[in-house]
Structure 1
Amino acid sequence: MDAGWLAQRIGEPSARGIATALTDLIREGTVTTQTRLPTVRGLARELGVSSGTVAEAWSELRRRGMIHTDRRRGTVVLGPPDVPRPIRYERIGHWGDRLAIDLAIASPDPALLPPLESALLAAAHADGLNDYARETITPRLRAAVEPAWPFAAQSWLAVGGGYEGVQLLCQTTALPGDRIAIEEPTGARLLDILETIGVQIIPVACDEAGPKPEALAKALKARPVAFVYQPRGQSPCGHAVTPERSAELAALLAPTTTLIVEDDGIGELSVSPMVSMGTRFPDRTVLVRSFSKSHGPDLRIAVIGGAADAVERVRVLRSFGTGWTSRILQDTLAHLLGDAVVRERVEHARAVYAGRRARLAAELAARGVRTGGSDGLVLWVPVREESAALVTLAAHGISVAAGSRYVIDPAPTPHLRLATARLTDDPDRLAELADVVALAARGGS
């Protein structure tokens, strides 16, 4: 495309004006798919603006999925704007009837979830039902969660699941182009969320004790507006932050204004104690605790508790849509949390999940495949080559998640993520599974 031709069709030479004009041209078909756009510098010269203005417009179009840039071809048009898709999280491939064992999705075992009947009946008589008053959290739910909260939260909010909580906190904290530091590897959905928001992701490498201090120190030099990490039950690696490591990280965060977002994704199913930065920084720490895996995915409940300003921003944004989380669901969870029989059931589930994870890790270690980590509902399995390992497992009717979905840049060692919550308790079948996983990890040798 000629830079002069495009410049004549741009009425407002701002970043937004450039992006809007080109969007209209693509939508109406004047500019077609695979058209190569002029260089940033060439278009800037024709418009009489800085290269940064055009680059900002290009970034916005890239975020909408309309253009793509590579070194060989330059910037080309992909097509009209589309709904952003969670590419990492979406399942790839159709398994059909060949799928025998699904280790790709870390879902709870339905047999280990508490029954909901009595809790739903109790919640059906909750105070304030069918009132349009926007209640951030019901008194019963706050009373149920507050005693176990690791620090004195300034504000509370019930949201529709852990990932919604983290997404809204990031969305209301960062502007497009801002930087957010996040441990790596991390949740595939979280990486999708951050890319959709349009932030720059600053990776923070981890080891068995959590984010590495030297990696966080490097990331903080970029002045991120937020640091997002999982204090325990980390997915995909299975580590938990120790008190000593937390103190090291806190010393680095102390002189900054960075918002600290703690994602407690498996909550009461974790075998590790909760070590929170909120005890040191209550005015800029927010904990998101999910109850989906412990008490039921269809409750769609997570609780946000922490810094008042950050929680208030989320409340305001939610007021444009949902407004508040169902009081029936909130009080159902509150009833479950206060039921002694349910607490025993969750404790039993925690032990069962830990045993399943540990047994598969031991079986793989006996075959020369060491996974690391001791918490969570997944195993992070090193393999010789990712694609070959996926093919080997698929040939045996086993689906797993590719490790490349959980990192920003290619990792030095490829991995697979195996969900362990629904593993068989039959030792012979588990040994057979470990044989196949080890075969895949070694590259078939």
Structure 2
Amino acid sequence: MEIVGKTAAEIFDSIRALTQAGSFKPGQELPTTRDLAATLGVNRNTVSMAYQRLSAAGIAVTQGRLGTFIRKQPDPGEQEGLLLGSPLADLGSGNPNPVWLPDIGAALTRKPYRPRLYGEATVDPEMEVLARQSLTGDCPGQFEVSLTSGAVDAIERLLTAYLVAGDKVAVEDPCFIGSVNTLRIAGLQAVGVPVDTQGMSVEGLEQALAQGAQAVIVTPRAHNPTGCSLSAARARKLRAVLARYPHVLVIADDHFSLLAATGYHDVIPPSAKRWALVRSVSKMLGPDLRFAFVASDEQTAQRLRLRLAPGTNWVSHLLQDAVVACLSSPEVAKQLVQAREDYARRRDLLTAALGVQGIAVTSPADGLNLWVPLPGDSHQTVLALAQRGWLVRGGEAFAVQAPAHGLRITVSTMDEQAADAFARALSTSYRP
């Protein structure tokens, strides 16, 4: 079969049908616009319009002078969470400690549920007040409040509100698995920005923006997987870089927020025209709530609301009531303080135990995980640990462009005995 058509729409439909039929394989190069225009007897601009539409639809990828290629189907990649049925001690899940998740049912008994109907405000007034109390002071000036089904849902909605398949997005490298998968499925190009103990690299961000990145996703603290957080100085420098690109969408994913031991340092410049600060409750109240606050500029909020409108798709008011009940509770507030201190203690336990064995971690660290850098591929070390009864996450799953050789170890349920036992197991499985 050959490409046919006289209009951009007909050429688009022809190539799409050939791709769906398997005549064009993933990675296969399409004819140049000049050659295809000559073959079909049409204007070169007509073919260019068809190729642009193929790129926007995620069917093809245009790489400038290198040509236009049929896009490879996205690899679903690894997923966060427990490996159900595994007999191994799971240090790779990324989960919070269930002990520190509040009793939502008990909290809701103090706030009776009121049924809502189609057309009511998508954000409950009490939730609006609570969100503004949490977000005011951390945003550049005035902001609007939206709600989404978790941080990953927020990031996906924000990206699709402005970007099309093939656009570049600057992300930390290594990067949170959920963000990597979101970009891959949307057909967006991840541009990796190196991180160090102070967070995202200033020079790396400069390069990514110079390469045409249309959006930036940055983790201000408790970066997953390395645990690093932005210093005040680093945040200030990143903010200065972003100020020179006011059209770029800036997303701050502050997923650990109330549990973070480190302070929040804002990277969103006042000149930013498109920005959002996302705060999920997954780590503090439980992943199953599927809930996140989003503070953003007015235009971005309007775009989010096109897909979060009353009568079509909004965050359940029952979930909003649950979050309000928990975050308004003195008992839950006390529990969050205890959880923050306990996670810090567990990070310190494992850091010290590994230090006794001569194994260093990326430090200082915040969050639920520690990162052990490795000089090469982690596969053999992961297998060796599994043979000794331990399940950890290999760093390569978090890689964007640069190799991410290391181990991500979830410490949320780590105690002193387990820390010592795991450190000894890692010592016999790997030596720097």
Verify same fold: TM over 0.5. yes
Mark the runs of 5 or more structure 1 residues left unpaired by the alignment.
68-73
The answer (yes or no) to whether the contact 2:155–2:251 under 8 Å persists in 1 is: yes
- Once residues 38 and 309 of structure 2 are traced to their aligned partners in structure 1, the CA distance between those partners, rounded to angstroms, is 44
Distance 1:113 1:90, change over 3 A: closer
Q: Give per-residue Cα distances to partners, 1:325-348, cap 9 Å, x unaligned.
A: 111111211121111111010111
Greater Cα shift, 129-138 or 293-302: 129-138
Report what 1:104 is aligned to.
Answer: 92
8 Å Cα contact 2:118-2:310 kept in structure 1: no
Give 3-state SS (helix, strand or coil) of 2:2's partner.
helix
- Against the structure 1 CA distance between its residues 95 and 318, is the aligned structure 2 distance closer, same or farther, given a 3 Å change threshold? closer
Cα distance change of structure 1 residues 309 and 430 upon mapping to structure 2, 3 Å threshold: same
Give the 3 Å change call, closer, same or farther, for CA 160–363 of structure 1 in structure 2: same
Q: Which residue of 1 aligns with 2:420?
A: 431
- Provide Cα deviations, 1:88-140, integer angstroms capped at 9, x if missing partner: 33789x8855x3211222111111111112322344434xx231125232111
Contact 1:385 1:441 in 2 (8 A): no
2: CA distance, partners of 1:35 / 1:340:
55
Partner SS for 1:362: helix
CA RMSD of aligned residues (A): 3.2
Contact 2:175 2:398 in 1 (8 A): yes
Structure 2 residues without counterparts, runs of 5 or longer: 62-67
- TM-score under structure 1 length normalisation: 0.83
1:117 equivalenced with 2:97 (yes/no) = no
Q: 1:95 to 1:190 in 2, by over 3 A?
A: same
Partner of 1:191: 180
Q: Does 1:11 align with 2:5?
A: yes
Letter of the structure 1 residue corresponding to residue 190 of structure 2: I
Tell me the amino acid that sits aligned with residue 287 of structure 1: L
How much has 1:267 moved relative to structure 2?
1.8
- Contact 1:259 / 1:284 at 8 angstroms: preserved in 2? yes
Quote how far apart the aligned CAs of 1:59 are. Answer: 5.4
Instruction: Provide the C-alpha distance between the structure 2 equivalents of 1:279 and 1:58, rounded to a whole number of angstroms.
Output: 34
Deviation digits for residues 124-167 of structure 1, max 9, x if unmatched? 434xx231125232111122232232235510011111111111
1:292 equivalent in alignment to 2:274: no
Cα-to-partner distance string for 1:369-423 (whole Å, 9 max, x where unaligned): 2111321111122224311112112222322222112121242x61121222122
Alignment of 1:24-423 (within 5 A): 24-25=17-18, 27=20, 31=22, 40-41=31-32, 46-47=39-40, 49=44, 63=58, 86-89=76-79, 96-97=85-86, 99-126=87-114, 129-149=115-135, 150-151=138-139, 152-257=141-246, 258-278=248-268, 280-281=270-271, 284-319=274-309, 323-373=313-363, 374-383=365-374, 384-411=376-403, 414-423=405-414
1:86 Cα deviation after fit: 3.0
| Aligned partners of 2:239 and 2:269 also within 8 Å | no
The 3 A distance-change label for structure 1 pair 434 and 261 is same
- Counterpart code for 1:262: A
Aligned length: 416
Instruction: Quote the residue 2:64 is aligned against.
Output: none
Following superposition, the deviation at residue 11 of structure 1 comes to 3.0
Equivalent residue letter for 1:101 = A
Amino acid at match of 1:233: A
Contact 2:378 2:407 in 1 (8 A): yes
Give the share of equivalent positions with the same residue, in percent.
25
Q: TM-score, normalised by structure 2?
A: 0.85
CA 1:279–1:343: 2 relative to 1, 3 Å: farther
**Aligned residues of 1:32 and 1:77 also touching (Cα < 8 A):** no
AA at the equivalent of 1:100: L
Go from structure 1 to structure 2 and tell me whether the alpha carbon gap of 1:234 and 1:320 turns closer, same or farther (over 3 Å shift): same
Secondary structure class of the residue paired with 1:341: helix
